[in-house]
Amino acid sequence: AESHKHDFTVQQTRVTRLCRTKNIITVNGQFPGPTLTVRNGDTVVVTVVNRARYNVTIHWHGIRQMRTPWADGPEYVTQCPIRPGGSYTYRFTIENQEGTLWWHAHSKWLRATVYGALVILPKQGSNFPFSLPQKDFPVILGEWWNRDIIAVQRQAQFTGAAPNISDAYTINGQPGDLYRCSTQGTVKYSVNPGESVLLRVINAALNQQLFFSVANHMLTVVGIDATYNKPFTTNVIMVGPGQTTNVILTANQSPRQYYMAARAYATVRNGQFDNTTTTAILEYKNLNSGANSRPLLPQLPAFNDTATATAFANRLRGVPNNNRVPNQIDENLFFTVGLGLVNCTRGPRCQGPNNTRFAASMNNISFVLPRRTSLLQAYYQKIPGIYTLDFPRVPPVQFDYTGNVSRGLWQPRFGTKLYKLKFGSNVQIVLQDTAIFSTEDHPIHLHGYHFWVVGQGFGNFNAQTDTANFNLNDPPVRNTIDVPVGGWTVIRFVADNPGVWLFHCHIDSHLAWGLAMAFIVENGIGEKQTMEPPPPDLPQC
């Protein structure tokens, strides 16, 4: 196994998109940031130097961080932020993970421009479970705002109103041909006729689930969130924020240019969303005549096509060497996830619906990050008064979660409440979408873990009938899972990685409104089950 050393300088960089030039925060002046390519079993050492004017942290999304929770990155959860002028070295080893992950800032909404791909190849001498593709490309989907992203975040957080929607979607940082002033920068992927191409599709958008398709080409799905799945072929995929999907395409069409394109899958009722389309070009070498005509656009589903999104999710099946899903459950948890409204006295801070503010919650607790220190430091050093351990295992009141529920029943409470898990316990979490303000999809991400997705459905979860239908045979394994609009998802995992692990909605506006909680996983017995001590350069608050 190898060790990969990198320097990440977080800095302000001037870029031009959609006819305007502005400053954004980047790593090493690159947007998207550098792609890290490693092998399963390798060690990664990244020194982050903060030359920007904001605090920052970097999260290695989906990396298990076995015994190294200090390198996970979410600010105030596993570390205090790196101050301007400061630095911190993230050091971790890849253990039994292959496929596509990514890294992003986990501080305010800086991940809008601070992100990059993390490609994990099989160990030296071992192969993909599919034939080696001739080309291997990251396809990172993002969202672009003309306004400064911190201003967009402040507006949403200060006023309690929905955030401004993005001005464009992007592929590898470029909006593409269909937007103003964007033709020059449009990303081109060049292929030889007959080649097979691995596209590593990453949804790095802040607030939007996306459909993705390539004109005239079928996509064979071979991996999700750095795990393998049973391959299947489709013309469209749906990727939620935080998720990755590896697809193989064969360049078997007549040699010309084809668009690959991404567009919103937006489930919120009456909600506003960016309804534009981003494109990149798949270009065959040796273009024949006809090559000068415009590339073909793929047919993408309508923004509210839940049937297509659901059908896609249902086709995802794990492979046998993903280990066996636990049968016996030690911790049976039921968490509601959803938006809510809190009463608010009139004023600029009450610009949500009817002079309220948005607050999002799990089990009616709207999560508040500490400021004095990180949760992991508080836990490790036994600092009192930073968090409590009373996160409820079930909702405080039970009702028809997907019906139209009165607000009086469900006023989120604010708190820094955690839930403690014994090392090695088998955990099941039912995630139930609620409809207090509106029903919508929530891509829920668990740090430090992979989980099995054993069930998914619409309506209220029914412990008798739905449990009987769980897929314990070949469930897909992921780190981020969609809780469908007006429905539920059930996940299982084994608490084999000690530390403090954030569990949250990967839509940044929902995270900012509190759609999060955190688990403490206690140490087990012996070195292999015990978290490492903090590195000496761990930033202090």
Chain residues binding ligand C2O by CB under 6 A are 59, 61, 74, 104, 106, 242, 445, 447, 502, 504, 506
Provide, rounded to whole angstroms, the least separation between the CB of residue 431 and ligand C2O.
16
Provide, rounded to whole angstroms, the least separation between the CB of residue 310 and ligand C2O.
23
In which order are the strands placed within the sheet that holds 480-483?
418-421, 516-521, 499-505, 442-446, 480-483
Closest to ligand C2O by CB, 502 vs 520, is 502
> d(Cα 220, Cα 28) in Å, to the nearest integer?
34
Closest to ligand C2O by CB, 281 vs 446, is 446
Provide, rounded to whole angstroms, the least separation between the CB of residue 447 and ligand C2O.
6
Provide, rounded to whole angstroms, the least separation between the CB of residue 101 and ligand C2O.
9
User: 319-353: b or e for each residue (b if 16 or more CB lie within 10 Å)?
Assistant: beebeebbeeeebebbbbbbbbbbebeeeeebbbe
Provide, rounded to whole angstroms, the least separation between the CB of residue 504 and ligand C2O.
6
Closest to ligand C2O by CB, 417 vs 445, is 445
Closest to ligand C2O by CB, 59 vs 478, is 59
Provide, rounded to whole angstroms, the least separation between the CB of residue 104 and ligand C2O.
6
Closest to ligand C2O by CB, 257 vs 361, is 361
Per the CB < 8 A criterion, the answer to whether 76 and 42 are in contact is no
Provide, rounded to whole angstroms, the least separation between the CB of residue 62 and ligand C2O.
8
> d(Cα 300, Cα 162) in Å, to the nearest integer?
26
Closest to ligand C2O by CB, 357 vs 445, is 445
Per the CB < 8 A criterion, the answer to whether 216 and 71 are in contact is no
Per the CB < 8 A criterion, the answer to whether 89 and 8 are in contact is no
Q: How many CB atoms lie within 10 A of CB 40?
A: 19
Closest to ligand C2O by CB, 260 vs 444, is 444
Secondary structure (3-state) at 465: helix
> d(Cα 353, Cα 371) in Å, to the nearest integer?
29
User: Where do we find the tokens 């970097």?
Assistant: 58
Per the CB < 8 A criterion, the answer to whether 455 and 490 are in contact is yes
Q: Which residue, 53, 61, 68, 55, is CA-closest to 33?
A: 61
> d(Cα 48, Cα 27) in Å, to the nearest integer?
9
Burial of 260 (0-12, 13-18, 19+ CB in 10 A): buried
Provide, rounded to whole angstroms, the least separation between the CB of residue 28 and ligand C2O.
20
Provide, rounded to whole angstroms, the least separation between the CB of residue 65 and ligand C2O.
12
Closest to ligand C2O by CB, 445 vs 450, is 445
Closest to ligand C2O by CB, 200 vs 504, is 504
Provide, rounded to whole angstroms, the least separation between the CB of residue 118 and ligand C2O.
11
Closest to ligand C2O by CB, 515 vs 531, is 515
Closest to ligand C2O by CB, 88 vs 128, is 88
Cis ω before 32 (30° cut-off from 0) = yes
Question: What pairs with residue 37 in β-bridges?
Answer: 119
Provide, rounded to whole angstroms, the least separation between the CB of residue 59 and ligand C2O.
5
Per the CB < 8 A criterion, the answer to whether 407 and 341 are in contact is yes
232 alpha carbon, distance to own chain's centre:
23
The answer to whether the Cα torsion of 16, 21, 22, 23 is positive or negative is positive
In the complex, residue closest to ligand C2O by CB: 61
